[in-house]
Amino acid sequence: MTIPVFEPWNDPEAKPLIQFQNVSKRFGDFTAIDDLTIGIYEKEFFALLGPSGCGKTTMMRMLAGFETPTEGAIFLAGQDMAPVPPNKRATNMMFQSYALFPHLSIWENIAFGLKREAMPKNDISDRVDEMLRLTRLEKFARRKPHQISGGQRQRVALARSLAKKPKLLLLDEPLGALDKKLRQDTQFELMDIQEKTGTTFVIVTHDQEEAMTVASRVAVMDNGKIIQVATPDRIYETPNSVYVADFIGEVNIIDGIATPTGEDRYSIAWKEGQAPLNVTSATAFSDGQKCHLAIRPEKVTINAEEPSGVDNVVQGKILDIAYLGNISTYHVELPSGAVIKAQSANTRRISRRAFTWEYTVWLSWTATAGVLLAT
């Protein structure tokens, strides 16, 4: 059985639903969005990820129509959106604060958008009931927003924004106010609902785990620019810059000088007194070029004895252990002073673990484990 792969971004025939064309947005001297071009496809769950102030919320507000681009144009289904006011757009937004109308009941909140269209009363009622079922809120229809919990409010906000069957749903930090456990459950709920309704979702978040979990593609932003757009696994495994590697998950960044040693193979000279590292890289580096090796802690193996037959091995002393329950992260200090993080699963009980503070250990990794980055 073959599962059809959903990747319209690799299909040259596919037309994006949303097209940003050289969009810039400036507030006075401050540039929030800097010459940004990107396409988002139909039925995608697209995540905008970045630290606060990177411009991700501005991008979303431009899609909703609350901000207009200073330069460039945004197209929705081929139509230039600049002259279209927010109330005439086929987009709906789920606000960070949920923005539920406190004077209306849950039912009326969900019906609010439908009543603005000349929709027959019965259809409105059917649609609201359908949304209540979808978000499992049937029991709370008559309550006011302040009479329900945070998680329920979040679902009301979602139901309200989905009720009008928008072409595009915008979610502004939708799960920010929920505690971790509820957040995780809701993430899967969101994915379910997105699949069921087939709506295109654009989510803004600063939580990389959330972006990785829900999104079909993630755009990592910094200072009004998109640094990388890719599927979550590619963002994690093959970041295109130190910024992305560092922003997503934990990483060891080793600065060095590259020397080609064969096809796609390089030897990296780094700290003095340390043997050069052997790595492979699909991107080409010239002789003597400065480079950064990004390697994830879980791809570094920690050994009590010196291993043989491995591409890279360094010796060091355990400086710190971050015990996370299922895994532990070991901070290992090399004789040169550099600290490398290695992660291993805690398959044995803590009292029986093989290493503890001050132990001398060997760290090893393969030539393909890391990514060699120029910037």
Strand 79-80 relative to strand 91-94, pairing: unpaired
Question: Is the separation of the CB atoms in 321 and 356 below 8 Å?
Answer: yes
Q: Does 155 bind another protein (CB under 8 A)?
A: no
Amino acid letter for position 319: L
Return the residue of 4, 28, 78, 102 that touches another protein, per CB under 8 A. Answer: 102
Nearest approach in angstroms of CB 97 to another protein is 5
Q: Which of 83, 85, 273, 337 binds another protein (CB under 8 A)?
A: 85
Give me the sign of the Cα torsion angle 87, 89, 91, 96. Answer: negative
Q: How far is the CB of 122 from another protein (least distance, A)?
A: 19
- Give me the 1-30 binding string for another protein, x by CB under 8 A, dash otherwise: ------------------------------
Residue 201 or 247 with smaller CB distance to another protein: 201
Q: Does 103 bind another protein (CB under 8 A)?
A: yes
Instruction: Judge contact between 302 and 361, C-beta under 8 A.
Output: yes
Question: Which CB atom, from 75 or from 112, has the smaller least distance to another protein?
Answer: 112
Per the CB < 8 A criterion, the answer to whether 167 and 77 are in contact is yes
| Per CB under 8 A, 120 contacts another protein | no
Nearer to another protein, 63 or 218 (CB): 63
Q: How many CB atoms within 10 Å of residue 341? A: 20
Task: Identify whether the C-beta of residue 355 lies closer than 8 Å to the C-beta of residue 319.
Answer: no
Size of the site for another protein (CB under 8 A): 25
Determine the Cα–Cα distance for residues 200 and 166; give it in Å rounded to an integer: 9
Q: Where does this chain touch another protein (CB under 8 A) — which range of 2-10, 85-93, 121-129, 227-235?
A: 85-93
Helix (H, G, I), strand (E, B) or coil at 310: coil
Q: Residue with structure tokens 């007194």?
A: 273
**Tokens describing residue 201:** 């979702």
Among 26, 43, 112, 264, binds another protein (CB under 8 A): 112
Q: Which is nearer to another protein, 66 or 357 (CB)?
A: 66
**Does residue 64 touch another protein according to CB under 8 A?**
yes
Work out the number of other CB atoms within 10 angstroms of the CB of residue 83: 8
Nearer to another protein, 130 or 298 (CB): 130
The answer to whether 291 and 373 have CB atoms below 8 angstroms apart is: yes
234 three-state secondary structure: helix
Q: Which of 19, 91, 240, 241 binds another protein (CB under 8 A)?
A: 91
Residue among 127, 153, 164, 292 that touches another protein (CB under 8 A)? 164
57 near another protein, rule: CB under 8 A:
no
153 binds another protein, rule: CB under 8 A: no
Which amino acid belongs to residue 344? S
The distance from CA 251 to its chain's CA centroid, rounded to whole angstroms, is 16
CA–CA distance, 48 with 211 (Å, rounded to integer): 8
Asked if residue 101 binds another protein (CB under 8 A), the reply is yes
Of 26, 43, 86, 327, the one binding another protein (CB under 8 A) is: 86
- Can you tell me which of 13, 29, 117, 272 binds another protein, judged by CB under 8 A? 117
Residues with Cβ within 8 Å of residue 130, at least 6 apart in sequence: none
Q: Which positions lie near another protein, rule CB under 8 A? A: 64-66, 85-87, 89, 91-93, 95-97, 99, 101-103, 112-113, 116-117, 146, 160-161, 164
